[in-house]
Amino acid sequence: MTAPAAAGQRALTGLRTALVVESVKARASLVLRSTSVLLVVGVCVLSAAMVAAVRAGRTDVTRKLGPTVATGDWDAFLSVATQVTGAAAVLATGVALAWLVGREFSDGTVGGLFGLPVTRGVIASAKVLVYLGWAAGLGVVLPCALLAAGLACGLGAPDAPVLAGLARIGLLVLLSACVAVPAALAATLGRGLLPGVATTVGVVAVAQVGATLGAGTWFPLTAPALWAIAPGTVPAAALATAPLLALAVAALTVLAWRRLQLDR
């Protein structure tokens, strides 16, 4: 085996090892479990509560959330769920990623990583991959929970457009996780959990302001939510800006981990 091939094999083995270790950490994490439950339960409860309020004749809810909610049917339920998920998913996934990366600094375990045979860049890559895998799983669980909640509210059997709307919400969770990847870089440069959380809050705020000011469909922080609310208004190329943002920031995070120093 040539030297480059041997180096590639070692890197692949190291990544597999790091993925196993980080997956075990994630499964044992109270932060990830509680974040998952809060997001899923919160979106379902809020969506059901808003539809119930509309059915009870609360016109103020209709004025705040738009005329789509006035129907009190599956369309109203999914409209509320999409709007809530658009903001809540970014916040939830960003906090989770800030913990995955920042805990090494907050708990003082980062020093031990320098003595491992697996490089720090590979460890950072594994953290991001495990995070995206967790977000993808959350993107499956949330639509299933929303389907159960809608049926429990008496909305009836879903048709094809409703199922398509549920699928969009699932993909919205994953795209929101891509938008929240800057939390990993902030937690690395800030050497702790709080910078990552603060960056996540900042991303949500910028996205909200951008949407209010009409930032456009090509703005990666708002494109996923705009697409989920009105799919026909956002081209596929614009929707790809969120994964591209995640890829670029993840690469910077891996580079920062490679250059970590104990005296800083």
Query: Could you state, in order of their start, the residue ranges of all structural domains in the chain?
Result: 29-258
H helices present in the chain, as ranges: 3-28, 30-55, 59-65, 74-106, 110-113, 120-152, 160-179, 182-189, 193-212, 223-229, 236-239, 241-258
- Share of residues in the chain with pLDDT > 70 (%): 87
Please compute the mean of the pLDDT values over residues 48-69 and round it to a whole number: 69
What is the pLDDT, as a whole number, of residue 14?
78
Nearest to 184 by CA among 262, 264, 245, 116: 245
Please compute the mean of the pLDDT values over residues 32-43 and round it to a whole number: 95
What is the pLDDT, as a whole number, of residue 3?
47
Q: Roughly how many angstroms between the first and final C-alpha of the chain, as a whole number? A: 39
Angle at 259 between CA 255 and CA 260, to 5 degrees: 115
Structure tokens at 115: 């003595």
Mean pLDDT, the chain, integer: 87
pLDDT digits (tens, 9 = 90+) for 235-248: 888 899 999 999 99
What is the pLDDT, as a whole number, of residue 11?
55
Q: What is the DSSP letter of 157?
A: S
The SS3 assignment for 159 reads coil
* Amino acid in position 252: L
Nearest to 88 by CA among 99, 80, 76, 98: 80
Structure tokens at 180: 């929240």
What is the pLDDT, as a whole number, of residue 116?
81
